[in-house]
Structure 1
């Protein structure tokens, strides 16, 4: 009798109303989204940190900044080439286990970066990071949608984008400060250490995530026939190329063309990141109500920003406003086109996103290469990177207009 009384008391004490279970489940799901957003912060920080440390890395190897910029091109094109094949090779691997493997590769590569004795060794280490990056961004957008609270998928994508944006808000400025005072190797070492912490958090908080809706090589045929999706890929390739033609060399532009202080160069990176967070919030709240207008405004915003880079050079307040417009607009473009990719390929999300990631990185590498060529050209130089980027961005705007017309006549 005593046993049954104790059992009844225990059940009474542990009885939780159904709505409490639901609230608890949503909190857990939100924490999982936050953990993946933290991972996005880490991966984006390491991808773009060379932008903040070009001069320092170049000085340690006796190279000019525009030659060190090849770090970004090599990294981006490795990601571009490996995104699809690496995703297909890992298609059947349970996603939590895959994430753990990616983080191990990521951490070992950062240790190698810290110990790099030559620029060639540094590039090899970056190739290892790029391999982890290629698979990470192929699967993360679909994973964050899977683990998000019910009905909060768009918000979850916005949180993932916020994690990405925080890379420029916190990652790049702090990495630059750390690099200036303790050396650029310390910055990469710190990124590796934070990655280890993130790996432990993900191991603890994520459930098993069986692979699903990955797609296979046959999905490529369907994607190739999906004209709206092809238009999305073309827009992201052009927009990212335009952006990174100028953004890859924002540090030397701010220092040598604007003639601003190194402190302001750090501040510009911070402003870009904060603007990205603003874009993430705006996307979560307003995109579903203003789908077409949202993308139009974002594209025009980047176009105008690139055109005004040189015109506003030397004017601190105006250049600060330009950085805000540029950061908000570029983040918004990435978010919109990423969501459209997921919606246009619901049965092959990982294949579609691996292509998106690969094409995005073709744009990064192409932009860094194009900007470096403009700077190295005797008749052009650093002052022209904004105008050349604007020319490429205009093509993206034209593709968007053509895609809308195509959709209306479909």
Structure 2
């Protein structure tokens, strides 16, 4: 050890490296969840099914996470965390190999359900682990790391996976995800210290959690806002192609911009949450509604679409971070189970949005998805302003860290 480097500094550097691995893992999980969005036409053509049916891959995946998050989190509550993560990534890798060789729609769906099982546990345990490992006073920064990893999925993972799928084949995309998952698994086994389960919560803690108004409103706002968002985002490829008149290459740039804006949003949140803790959600929701409404007026104007995509990505990141931070503040005594519920409600929104968007495509036409999506976010915003804001109690970051 260098004489200028204290043991505390070395420990903190090690903690940040592990958190960075978690962020890398978040990157790959979000990539595999959302990459079908850019590959809907390719998968549909390959498996000879309608695009609306392919979109149900998103719905069933998300709703499976919703149903499984709490049961699987409770079932694995006592398993040492390094061991659990190694098992998760082994299953994750195997499922992607099955996806790459899927012989029909139902075999692909089965592999996605297996991935959903790992997803349900991953997000329930890694957010609390990241904040637990973070050096003193850096919980928000650790959360920003995780959000950056998630955002990089839409910056790099989804656009790159879409490009590979369009030019080489969607099966190749899933095969490459399997390779990256193997690398992450090795890093986790090598670098992650043994971490006994702590403050995971239990079945007995559920009733008390649901009696906390802040938590209940956070979950409700999450479900409504994400439903509206994914009503549009799931079908952004056919929307831009059919309504906007844009080609597939430009769609990739739009996805890239939304993801890149997520990184900016993560950076802004560390500052806005201190300055406007009560208004971060409402301001971001207004921006997101604006972007969805004005998207239909940007016909064949690439610069306008990219500008809207930039603010769109910033807004949804700020919304997700503000809601997740509130959940962690309101339920620090049962972090794993509360984050599992948050993940479940988030995926209710993803699945519902994909399903509603599919119904809009079949019955109204793709151009109406922005109207329906923005309506859900309007409802969420009204609930926040009229009911939730008054119980949105600001809490300072704890002055002491949980024991590791």
- Give runs of ≥4 in structure 1 deviating > 3 Å: 14-17, 405-408
Matched, 1:243 2:233: no
2:59 to 73, 80, 93: 73
The more displaced of 263-272 and 286-295 is: 286-295
Give ranges in structure 2 of 5+ residues lacking alignment.
394-404
Query: How far, CA to CA, are the matches of 2:2 and 2:152 in structure 1?
Result: 40
RMSD (CA atoms)? 1.2
Deviations 1:261-312 (A, max 9, x none): 2110000110011000000011123312221222221111111111112122
Compute the displacement of 1:149 (Å).
2.0
1:266 to 252, 255, 265: 252
Matched, 1:403 2:388: yes
Residue of structure 1 equivalent to 2:323: 337
Per the alignment, in what secondary structure is the counterpart of residue 172 of structure 2? helix
Is the CA contact 2:214–2:326 (under 8 Å) kept in the aligned structure 1? no
Matched, 1:353 2:339: yes
Per the alignment, in what secondary structure is the counterpart of residue 181 of structure 2? helix
Compute the displacement of 1:180 (Å).
1.5
Is the CA contact 1:241–1:364 (under 8 Å) kept in the aligned structure 2? yes
Give ranges in structure 1 of 5+ residues lacking alignment.
1-13
Residue of structure 2 equivalent to 1:362: 348
Compute the displacement of 1:242 (Å).
0.3
Per the alignment, in what secondary structure is the counterpart of residue 69 of structure 1? helix
Compute the displacement of 1:15 (Å).
8.2
1:381 to 352, 361, 365: 365
Deviations 1:292-343 (A, max 9, x none): 2222211111111111121223221111111111111001111111111011
Query: How far, CA to CA, are the matches of 2:147 and 2:45 in structure 1?
Result: 33
Matched, 1:313 2:299: yes
Q: Report matched runs for 1:131-150 at 5 Å.
A: 131-150=117-136
Give TM-score, length-normalised by structure 2: 0.95
Query: How far, CA to CA, are the matches of 1:387 and 1:406 in structure 2?
Result: 30
Residue of structure 1 equivalent to 2:401: none
Residue of structure 2 equivalent to 1:280: 266
Q: Report matched runs for 1:1-80 at 5 Å.
A: 16=3, 20-80=6-66
Larger radius of gyration: 1
Question: Number of residues paired by the alignment?
Answer: 392
Query: How far, CA to CA, are the matches of 1:131 and 1:70 in structure 2?
Result: 17
Query: How far, CA to CA, are the matches of 2:135 and 2:329 in structure 1?
Result: 18
Compute the displacement of 1:406 (Å).
4.7
Query: How far, CA to CA, are the matches of 1:312 and 1:183 in structure 2?
Result: 31
Give TM-score, length-normalised by structure 1: 0.94
From the superposition, tell whether residues 337 and 208 of structure 1 become closer, same or farther in structure 2 (CA, over 3 Å): same
Query: How far, CA to CA, are the matches of 2:279 and 2:67 in structure 1?
Result: 33
From the superposition, tell whether residues 15 and 81 of structure 1 become closer, same or farther in structure 2 (CA, over 3 Å): closer
Query: How far, CA to CA, are the matches of 1:92 and 1:306 in structure 2?
Result: 43
The more displaced of 144-153 and 44-53 is: 144-153
Query: How far, CA to CA, are the matches of 1:407 and 1:373 in structure 2?
Result: 35
Per the alignment, in what secondary structure is the counterpart of residue 225 of structure 1? coil
